[in-house]
Structure 1
Amino acid sequence: MSITESSIKVLFVGESWVKHTIHMKGFDQFHSTEYEEGAGYFLHCMDDAGFDVTYIRGHEVSLRFPRSAEEINKFDVVVISDIGSNSFLLPDETFLKSEKSPNRLGLVADFVKRGGGLVMIGGYLSFTGIDGKGRYGMSPLAEVLPVTLLPYDPTFPK
C-alpha cells in the first residue's frame, strides 16, 4: 500500500558517520577514513511506500535542521536515528562562535506537543547512547519520548 497524493512529509535525521581507522602492522601504521550511511534501506522503504522524505545526514544538522516552528511545521514526522543530542544543541554558531541559537530539540518537543510525530530509532547515540553520550535525557526530548532515559549507559553495570 502506498501513500496518496497528500504524502506524509518525513524529516529523517542521522544515520551517517565518518570512520577513522588506524591500521598497525608491526612497527608500521597507516590511517584510513571512510564516510558511511546506514539509512539506505530505511529510506528506500519509505520512498517505496510513497512518503515524502527529507534526509539530513549527521554532519548536515548544523546547517539544515529547522531553526523555527515555521520550518519544522513543514513536516508531519521527525525521525531521529543514531545521532547524539550535541549535534542539535551545538550548531556551528554556538560551538565555534559562542553565539546563542535556538534549542532545536526544544523545537522538536514543541512540535510533538502540537501533534507532530516523532520516531527515535535506536543506535549507538540514540536515547542515552553508548557510554551515556547520546544525552537525550538532559534535553527537552526527554519529556515527549515514551521511555525513561537513564543518565548512564544501561548496558554497563553501575
Structure 2
Amino acid sequence: MKPVLLAGETFQVTSFASKGYEVSASARFSNGGLRWIEALTRHGFDVTQIGGERCESEFPTTKEQLSEYAAVVLSDVGALSLLYTPETRKGRRSVNRLELLRQWVLEGGSLMMAGGYCSFQGIDGLALFHDTAVDDALPVKIYAGPDGLEAPEGLDPRITEPDHPILRGITTPIPYLLGMNRVAERPQDGSTTLVHCDRRGEGLPLLAVRDFGKGRSLAWMSDIGPHWLSTEFMEWDGYDVLMANMVRWLVRQI
C-alpha cells in the first residue's frame, strides 16, 4: 500500500535567558506527530512526514505527486506554508497547492485535517484556511476568525454516530480533551459529524467525514498529540485504533 503523507506537526522554539548583562540563547526542535506515527505504524501503515518548515520546498506540486500517497494529512501547518513555493519567492507564477488538493480529492484522493494552533483558521487566526479550496473540500466550515478553544476544565467527547466504521472497536467513553478548533457543521453538503464535544449547551463538532466527488475528506478538530490531547487520551487503549480507523476510512479499507 502507498504511504500516508503527514504534513506539519514540527516546530522550533528559541529562548533567551537574561542574567544581568549576560544573555544566552537556546533552541530546540519538537515533533508533535511521533505518537500518531507510532499508532499508524502499529496498524500497518507507512508514514512519510514533511515538517511545516519543509512544506514550501517539499510538499507535492502536482496531482501525480499527490497520488504517490494513499492519503494526505494536514496537521498544525498553516495555509501559507503550502501556498508559498520556491517560485513564489522569486516573484514567479506557481501552483496553488490548496486548489491542487481540492481537485485531487474530487478525482479520488483522500484528505484529512487535524486540529492545532495552526490548523483550520488557527488559535490567532493565522492558519488562514477559511475560504480556501481546502475549506471547500472539508466536511466542516472554517470560521473567518480565530478558532482555537482552550479548555483546561476538559471537554468530554460524545459519540453521535456509533455505527460508523471509524468508531467500531472504540471503547467509550472517549477520554477528555484540553482544547480544539471551533468549526461549523455542513450537513447540506453530505457531511456527517460522528463525535461532538458539549460546551455551554453547544455541541461542537470533533470528528466529521465527507464524500467529496470521487474522494473522501475527514476533519478531526483536536490535536493528534499533546497538549490538546490529555495524558489520559494519549495513554488510552483506543487511541491507536481510532487514529488508524480514520485513515482506514479515508482509503476505503473500512
Q: Which residue of 1 aligns with 2:78?
A: 84
**Does 2:5 correspond to 1:11?**
yes
Code of the aligned partner of 1:69 = K
Matched, 1:143 2:136: yes
- Is 1:32 aligned to 2:26, yes or no? yes
Aligned to 1:4: none
1:68 maps to which of 50, 62, 65: 62
Gaps of at least 5 residues in structure 1 are: 1-6
Q: TM-score, normalising length from structure 2? A: 0.55
Provide the secondary structure at the position in 2 that maps to 1:142: helix
Q: Displacement of 1:92 after TM fit?
A: 2.6
Amino acid at match of 1:51: F
Report how far residue 19 of structure 1 moved. Answer: 0.8
- Look up the equivalent residue of 2:10 and give its one-letter code: S
Instruction: Compare 57-66 and 147-156 and name the one that shifted more.
Output: 147-156
Please state how far the C-alpha of 1:138 moved relative to its aligned partner.
3.3
Amino acid at match of 1:118: L
Distance in 2, matches of 1:85 and 1:11, equals: 16
Provide Cα deviations, 1:25-44, integer angstroms capped at 9, x if missing partner: 45543221111111111111
> Partners in 1 of 2:134 and 2:79 — Cα distance?
9
- Identity of counterpart residues, as a percentage? 34
> Is the 2:105–2:137 Cα contact (8 Å) retained in structure 1?
yes
Q: Is the 8 A contact 2:78 2:127 kept in 1?
A: yes
Q: Secondary structure at the match of 2:142?
A: coil
Equivalent position of 2:14 in the other structure: 20
Whole-Å Cα distance in 2 between the matches of residues 140 and 128 of structure 1? 13
RMSD: 1.6
- Please give the alpha-carbon distance, in whole angstroms, between the structure 1 residues aligned to 2:148 and 2:7: 24
Give, in whole Å, the separation in 1 of the partners of 2:29 and 2:48.
Answer: 20
Structure having the higher helix fraction is 1
User: Equivalent of 1:101, from 68, 90, 94?
Assistant: 94
Distance in 1, Cα, partners of 2:81 & 2:148: 23
Report how far residue 70 of structure 1 moved.
0.9
TM-score, normalisation: structure 1: 0.86
Asked whether the equivalents of residues 52 and 81 of structure 2 are also in contact (C-alpha less than 8 Å), the reply is yes
Instruction: State the match for 2:115 in structure 1.
Output: 122
C-alpha distance after superposition, 1:22-70 (max 9, x if no partner): 2234554322111111111111111111112211111111222111111
Bigger mean CA deviation after superposition, 137-146 or 25-34:
25-34
1:111 equivalent to 2:104? Answer yes
Gaps of 5+ in 2: 150-254
CA contact (8 A) 2:2 2:68 kept: no
Aligned-pair CA distance for 1:108: 1.0
Q: How many residues align?
A: 149
